[in-house]
Amino acid sequence: MNSTGERLRRRPQLSEEVAIHLREQIMTAAIKPGEFVRMDETAERLGVSVTPVREALLTLRGEGMVNLAPHRGYVVAELSRTDVDDLFWLQGEIAIKLALRTADAITPEQIADLEARNERLRDALTAGNVAQVESAEFEFHRAHNRIAAGGKLAWFLLSATRYTPSRLYATDPGWGVVALDSHTKLLEAYHSGDRQQVIEQTRRQFTDGAARLTQHLETTGIWDDTSDEPVES
């Protein structure tokens, strides 16, 4: 069994974990629009039963990421440039709202805590440990967003960011440079009370994320002129 399958087997809520895996595959075009997601093959590859795969596909269908082709199975839906732009615009707008609330509430002790978390991200990037990079980035933003005390907004942001392929970024050194620098400048803006810089550095992370994902997807050929007929995989 591969490492992904072993990781999934150890965790609860398998259907949610399978959905996370498939979202990443779809958002990076590892599975391209028009291709079928075969339940048996997916279950075997991940080392799980067919049931959580079926449940995950039902979830993804509700999100508009896959469509059901009658008598044929689930096929990956179209992913356009506009879809990518919209996803990151939405994330950015919510994040800016939370960041401005954080600016009003953050204490020197909380800034110091976030600085320490940013250093953990730096260490993970230097070590090239992808799992630790993903974890450190998530923990930085989770701690940051809690300061704003906007539970519902933070939930909406988390829901939107599940379409962000974190592993793609965690393996991109250029993304790491931008993430560290934007975090550092954001914390400096909190120190100085520069609200415009808070907005700019928050937006910067999502603008950069959208550009990197768009660039990656362009290399996969999903936006080339191709037939709309689903592809058997």
Q: Quick one: CATH architecture of 81-218?
A: Up-down Bundle (1.20)
- 173 pLDDT higher than 60: yes
pLDDT digit string, tens, across residues 56-101: 999 999 999 999 998 899 999 999 999 999 999 999 999 999 999 9
| Domain boundaries 7-79, corresponding CATH code | 1.10.10.10
Q: Count CB-CB contacts under 10 A for residue 42.
A: 22
Q: Over the chain, what is the mean pLDDT?
A: 91
- Indicate the pLDDT class of residue 129, thresholds 50, 70 and 90: very high
Q: Give the per-residue pLDDT at 5.
A: 52
H or E element, residue 86: helix 81-105
Q: Which DSSP category does 231 fall into?
A: B
CA distances from 181 to 20, 32, 121, 188, 190 (A): 28, 33, 11, 11, 14
Count Cβ neighbours within 10 Å for each residue of 84-105 and write b for 16 or more, e otherwise.
Answer: beebbebbbebbbbbbebbbee
Rg (CA), the chain: 19
Task: Report the pLDDT averaged over residues 191-211.
Answer: 97
Residue type, 56: A
Residue 179 in contact with residue 205, Cβ under 8 Å? yes
Can you tell me the mean pLDDT for 189-215? 97
Alpha carbon 221 to chain centroid, angstroms: 21
Does this model's pTM top 0.75? My answer is yes
Beta bridge partners of 69: 73
Q: Where are the domains of the chain?
A: 7-79, 81-218
Q: Which two tokens stand for residue 128?
A: 């090239």
State the amino acid at position 75 in one-letter form.
Answer: V
